[in-house]
């Protein structure tokens, strides 16, 4: 039995989970609605607010899907009840971030500003305080989407190992390199 797959998921108040005929799981909560297509070998049971995930056979592929879909459903339930939040810092002289609705304008040391259009499911705020690095805060109910968008923003200017300039996650510890020696 999969260690992750056999763990039960407790439903918080205000969250509804439904499974359609074609194994389409829909989770509704205060933060929104998420859907996920599940493999036909995986079944979901809702008994008195406790969800259990089970598999049809002991094949290696079904064992892998068991833990995967349990983790996806648990992330969906946490997302619609609490939501997910990601914070990124822009480290570097002259690096700035501003947002106009769903459009994120970034100044990252290139010859031009970078415009990044965000999906409507993500709420973005930018914070600029004197003496601190500009911060981008992303909030969403969808864990996969927020992770993908945060990775794409980070890829616009990855932190370099010598001075640490670039876009990094808040609290991320960068591995720094020493640089050239001055002389012998």
pLDDT in tens, 32-79: 999 999 999 999 998 988 999 999 899 999 988 999 999 999 999 999
Task: Find where tokens 């969800």 sit.
Answer: 51
Q: Give the CA angle between residues 5, 8, 13 to the nearest 5°.
A: 135
Residue 181 C-alpha from the chain's centroid: 40
* pLDDT score of 21: 84
Q: Which pLDDT does position 5 carry in this prediction?
A: 87
Query: Which CATH number goes with the domain that contains 58?
Result: 3.90.930.12
Angle, vertex CA 115, rays to CA 112 and CA 116, nearest 5: 145
Domain C-terminal end among 42, 59, 81:
81
Do residues 77 and 144 both lie within one domain? no
| CA 77 distance to own-chain centroid | 14
Choosing from 31, 50, 81, the residue where a domain stops is: 81
CB 136, CB 126: distance < 8 Å: yes
Report which DSSP code applies to 125: E
- Look at the chain and count its residues: 184
Helix (H, G, I), strand (E, B) or coil at 126: strand
pTM: 0.89
Of the candidates 82, 89, 66, the residue with the CA atom closest to the CA atom of residue 143:
82
| Residue ranges of the chain with per-residue pLDDT less than 50 | none
Would you state the pLDDT for residue 131?
92
Residue 120 falls inside a structural domain:
yes
**Do 95 and 158 belong to one domain?**
yes
Task: Please indicate, yes or no, if residue 178 is contained in any of the structural domains.
Answer: no
Place of tokens 């020493």: 178
Percent helix, strand, coil in the chain, to 5, is: 20, 35, 45
Q: What is the pLDDT of residue 4?
A: 86
Domain presence at residue 181? no
Statement to judge: residues 90 and 165 lie in one domain: yes
């Amino acid at each position: 039995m999969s260690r992750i797959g056999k763990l039960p998921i407790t439903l918080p108040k205000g969250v509804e989970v439904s499974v359609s005929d074609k194994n389409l799981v829909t989770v509704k909560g205060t933060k929104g609605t998420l859907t996920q297509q599940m493999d036909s070998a995986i079944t979901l049971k809702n008994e008195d607010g406790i969800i259990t995930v089970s598999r049809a056979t002991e094949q290696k592929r079904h064992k892998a899907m068991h833990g995967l879909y349990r983790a996806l459903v648990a992330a969906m339930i946490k997302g619609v009840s609490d939501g997910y939040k990601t914070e990124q810092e822009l480290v570097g002289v002259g690096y700035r971030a501003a947002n106009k609705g769903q459009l994120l304008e970034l100044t990252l040391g290139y010859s031009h500003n970078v415009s990044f259009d965000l999906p409507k499911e993500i709420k973005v705020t930018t914070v600029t305080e004197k003496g601190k690095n500009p911060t981008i805060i992303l909030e969403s109910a969808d864990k996969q989407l927020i992770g993908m968008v945060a990775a794409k923003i980070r890829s616009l200017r990855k932190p370099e190992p010598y001075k640490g300039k670039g876009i990094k996650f808040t609290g991320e510890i960068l591995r720094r390199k020493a640089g050239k020696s001055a002389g012998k």
